[in-house]
Structure 1
Amino acid sequence: MSLPVFFMVYSAAYSAEYRIIELGPFSGNSSIARGINDYSTIVGWSYNDPVNYSSFLSYGNKNSTELALSYAGLNQAYAINHQNIIAGWAYVDSSLLHAVQFTHGQVKDLGTLGGRTSQAFGLNDSNQIVGYSEISAGVIHAFLYENGEMKDLGTLGGWNSQAFGINNYGQVVGWSDIDQFSYHAFLYENGEMKDLGTLGGWNSQAFAINGLGQIVGCSETETGEVHAFLYESGEMKDLGTLGGPVSKAHGINNKGQIIGYSEIPSGETHAFLFEKGWMSDLGTYFGNNSSQALAINNRGQIIGWSDFLSRMRVAVMWEPVK
């Protein structure tokens, strides 16, 4: 049963009220919500131990169902579009992990770029899917899957790359090695991979891009901390933290609302909403230790996970209260 908790988020520039709702119940004791569309349909996975996952489809806080995606039920659903098509990964036999597309009860193996494994992390409303695939042992490349083919997006000059997000214009974001020491966030469009740079440190990653081409992720700073960033108009902006040394932005909607998580001064991670220049702490379920926000839709609904009682994590939704 879902239990709503009401609380306020305030700042000098912005105020909002949210209720935090536990999703489920699911077969596993722990659960994580990972993707949401504008119809409030949510995907993620539940588990009882770190190696046995079972994906779910949840219709807001109303009802949910388990998804039979693979051999032995070992799978993770990462993203869902407006046609309720799902991208993620699944074991296609007892040992091979492949990117998959789940369409109205049918599972499609997307294959690989020649290696053994692949995983999908994002898709758009044209059913273009992005993720990574092994090309040879120990080497992975970002891919774009469309029209039945998996395309290698290459790298920024190093060995490895990985794609996480794609918008409805087919712009892809992720990270790539630039040499043997560093990796940088990238934007892939018009057949080219562009280096987005860093906030002054060695490494950066991009996780999501909205319909306006605004990109979010995280980057090392000059001091070695890791901060969430917003990249727009050719500039990477530091979004700061909730008081700790680490923050990561995982989602942005077409209103420019950014979500993710940040360490707080005590060391736990808390979900945040960044809007109008302010990072607001979204808190945790029943005041427990940690939470992470992982996706947001254009209605401002935010999903992710929070600690709860003896269970490691529970899938939750932060619902704006009108």
Structure 2
Amino acid sequence: MNKELIEQTLTKAGIALPPIIKSLIESSIDRNYVFACEDEFNKLPPSEIQKTYWKEIIYRAHWAATSSLIRTKKWLDACNSAIEGENYIAFCSSMRGLLESTTDAYSALGSVPLTLAEVSAHIAKALQGNELKSVVISEELEDALIHFIFARKLSKNEKAPKSHNAKTASSMIDELDSANLPFKNFYSDLCQIVHPAAQSIDWLINEQDGVYTIAEPKDIDLIKSISGKYQSCIEQLILYPTNISIFIYQVINELPVPELVNTYAKSINSSASPLHEKINRAFTESREKFGS
């Protein structure tokens, strides 16, 4: 691997984060998730309902964090292959996939770690089978996790919960787009290359004094050009899904679900992130609210 070239195109994050992603995945795969069917759930005694409800929420959060990381790794692998193979179209296609994948993770999972931390003391009591003073549910959390795992494009006459209906790529990109991070423009440029539009073949043509020639394309120069234009976006496309999954794992690590502990996430110091302080505060406030 040409590290200098990878850093030029995928930023320093493209060098630093893949080994971390790999270690996080290795520390989270091959876990078993068991869910009660609706009839079984409805027959549970009151003392077991909250335990089952929150265990299944935690399972879905772990499932989502792990699958998001694997998907991110696969898209990064594809980007790397396109760079090393000097294939401009493959790079744009893979980068577009990474962009859609990241915006999906950000939209669906971005609030998950903090929301779990806010009710962590109640979750811990429920999972341990302790007496509960109240029933706590989170429809927002349920819908976010179900949307990430199960959402798809529904057929016209298909009946399904709203959480199963996939958001459009444009609506998710809007959530991240800003003047400093022009994801909409980046996505548009990538689509113009990947889709059968004029831009998908313009880069093959040289023109001089009204004479047009199809020449051997210099793919790597084109890859450097588009990646150089959107360096800030590319960096965040790698950072966002990685950090979200790390925080989900770190919150789960604090709960009594030993079968889901991610040992590698324990070794990561996240204190530089503003979200780290928010999560710590949420843990404290949860203990004050629900008791420890």
Point out the structure with the larger strand share. 1
TM-score by length of 2: 0.27
Q: What TM-score do the two structures reach when normalised by structure 1? A: 0.25
More helix by share: 2
Larger RCO (alpha carbons 8 Å, 6+ apart): 2
**Bigger-Rg structure (1/2):** 2
